[in-house]
């Protein structure tokens, strides 16, 4: 049987990894897919540049539309990233009757509903395992491996840059800016790190995970997103003293009122396995009603880890080339006409526990004023850690852990506490989750 011909959009880090993995493991991949797979055409901005991988047998072009319009290709792999022209290229490939594999989380999170509808109409597949958590097969695990379960919640470290920064802050006691510079020097962070450190990248990925877990449309604009730039070394230290670690989590949860989708720094008990995922590694914890909690761990980025997921998607597509389009695994796990209109909860309605750090005048009665305000908002305190001022007459640091409460109540309480004459500056607030099954 002739090999399946495939086109590649982008020959950067992941594109190169895909070429390498397909060549190195060609025989094994053919045994799994049932036939050979050949990259015959690819687009790149610079087709003259010397590359550290073999491009022999691949026709190179600067125009990606030449690839998606090639009638000989059955599959187009989109690895250029961003929203445009990726969206236009993918929709054109679908319109041309080609299956699509992509690692583009922003594209799927923001335009996936449109793309999947077009693919459904044309009877082609869009595979996107590499869009979330690099080489970890988390999409397949939720969509297929956990298909018997009602997913109750998931929580993930799904951005390696942020995890590296928080790990280094903990291990070295260094401030955020210093560790960010180190991450940039090592190539873990971009020159403009906004997408990583402000949680936008994680929000793209969480949008996809939530849609697959709960059978809802992709709704990136409804994800609450908060970055890690305000985390100070003392917060990491105080969290450790209280038995917690700070991780930048994406959390999706099904509640009686609707679905929570939120990305923010989170205290989690140090004994949890996910709390011990360090450096640039990713991990996703999924809780199903039948199986309980399951943890998926691995490399969230990099040439070959991401290529591993890309090639796995290609194999899946090749396996189904002759199958009935009506009986393929649905893009978002649930049949297209069975997606739910569950509401997405605004952050004010989310319930969680909190870590609070405040600087206060060192005099009797200050803590009583703070606890009175918390009590007025029905906020119960779990633990208090008060640090003596460094010298007589200087301000003291107060650390509070609260029980679970609605965010709206906490917002009102913090506004009232901040207005007290005895409180200095802003109050640091970090949410806390125990992640119990």
**What does DSSP say about strands 59-61 and 405-406: parallel, antiparallel, or unpaired?**
unpaired
Tokens for 9, please give them. Answer: 């959009």
Terminal-residue alpha carbon distance, the chain: 49
Other residues' Cβ atoms within 10 Å of the Cβ of residue 14? 26
User: From residue 366, how far is each of 1, 355, 382, 422, 429 by CA, in Å?
Assistant: 79, 18, 18, 7, 19
- Nearest CA to 101 out of 42, 109, 93 is that of 93
Give the whole-angstrom CA distance, residue 428 versus residue 416: 14
Question: What burial class does residue 222 get, using C-beta atoms within 10 Å of its C-beta: 0-12 exposed, 13-18 middle, 19+ buried?
Answer: middle
Tokens for 345, please give them. Answer: 């909860």
Give the whole-angstrom CA distance, residue 160 versus residue 282: 6
Of 98, 140, 205, 253, catalytic: 205
- Nearest CA to 353 out of 412, 432, 243 is that of 432
- DSSP H helices, 34-175, are 64-68, 86-95, 105-122, 138-140, 160-172
The verdict on whether 5 is a catalytic residue reads no
- The total number of residues shown for the chain amounts to 437
Give the whole-angstrom CA distance, residue 295 versus residue 97: 37
| Positions marked catalytic | 205
């Amino acid at each position: 049987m002739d090999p399946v011909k495939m086109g590649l959009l982008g020959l950067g880090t992941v594109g190169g990894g895909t070429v390498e993995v397909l060549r190195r493991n060609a025989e094994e991949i053919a045994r799994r897919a049932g036939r050979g797979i050949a990259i015959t055409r690819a687009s790149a901005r610079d087709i003259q540049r010397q590359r550290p991988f073999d491009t022999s047998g691949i026709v190179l072009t600067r125009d990606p539309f030449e690839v998606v319009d090639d009638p000989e290709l059955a599959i187009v792999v989109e690895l250029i990233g961003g929203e445009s022209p990726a969206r236009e290229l993918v929709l054109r490939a679908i319109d041309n009757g080609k299956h699509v594999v992509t690692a583009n989380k922003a594209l799927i999170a923001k335009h996936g509903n449109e793309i999947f509808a077009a693919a459904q109409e044309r009877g082609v597949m869009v595979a996107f395992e590499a869009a979330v958590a690099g080489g970890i097969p988390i999409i397949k695990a939720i969509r297929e491996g956990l298909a018997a379960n009602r997913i109750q919640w998931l929580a993930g470290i799904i951005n390696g840059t942020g995890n590296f920064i928080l790990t280094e802050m903990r291990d070295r006691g260094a401030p955020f800016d210093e560790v960010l510079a180190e991450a940039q020097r090592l190539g873990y962070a971009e020159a403009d790190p906004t997408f990583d450190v402000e949680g936008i990248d994680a929000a793209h990925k969480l949008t996809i995970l939530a849609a697959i877990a709960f059978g809802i449309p992709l709704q990136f604009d409804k994800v609450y997103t908060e970055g890690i730039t305000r985390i100070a070394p003392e917060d990491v230290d105080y969290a450790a003293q209280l038995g917690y670690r700070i991780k930048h989590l994406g959390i999706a949860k099904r509640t009686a009122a609707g679905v929570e989708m939120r990305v923010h720094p989170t205290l989690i008990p140090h004994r949890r396995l996910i709390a011990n995922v360090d450096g640039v590694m990713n991990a996703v914890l999924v809780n199903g009603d039948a199986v309980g909690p399951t943890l998926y761990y691995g490399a969230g980025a990099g040439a070959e880890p991401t290529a591993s997921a890309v090639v796995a998607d290609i194999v899946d597509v090749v396996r189904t080339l002759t199958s009935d389009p009506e009986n393929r695994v649905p893009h978002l796990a649930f049949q297209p006409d069975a997606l739910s209109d569950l509401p997405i909860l605004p952050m004010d309605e989310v319930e969680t526990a909190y870590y609070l750090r405040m600087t206060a005048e060192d005099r009797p009665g200050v803590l009583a004023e703070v606890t009175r305000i918390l009590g007025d908002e029905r906020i119960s305190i779990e633990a208090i850690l008060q640090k003596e001022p460094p010298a007589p007459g200087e301000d003291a640091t107060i650390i509070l852990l609260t029980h679970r409460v609605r965010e709206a109540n906490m917002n009102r309480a913090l506004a009232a506490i901040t207005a007290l004459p005895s409180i200095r500056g802003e109050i640091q607030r970090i949410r806390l989750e125990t992640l119990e099954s």
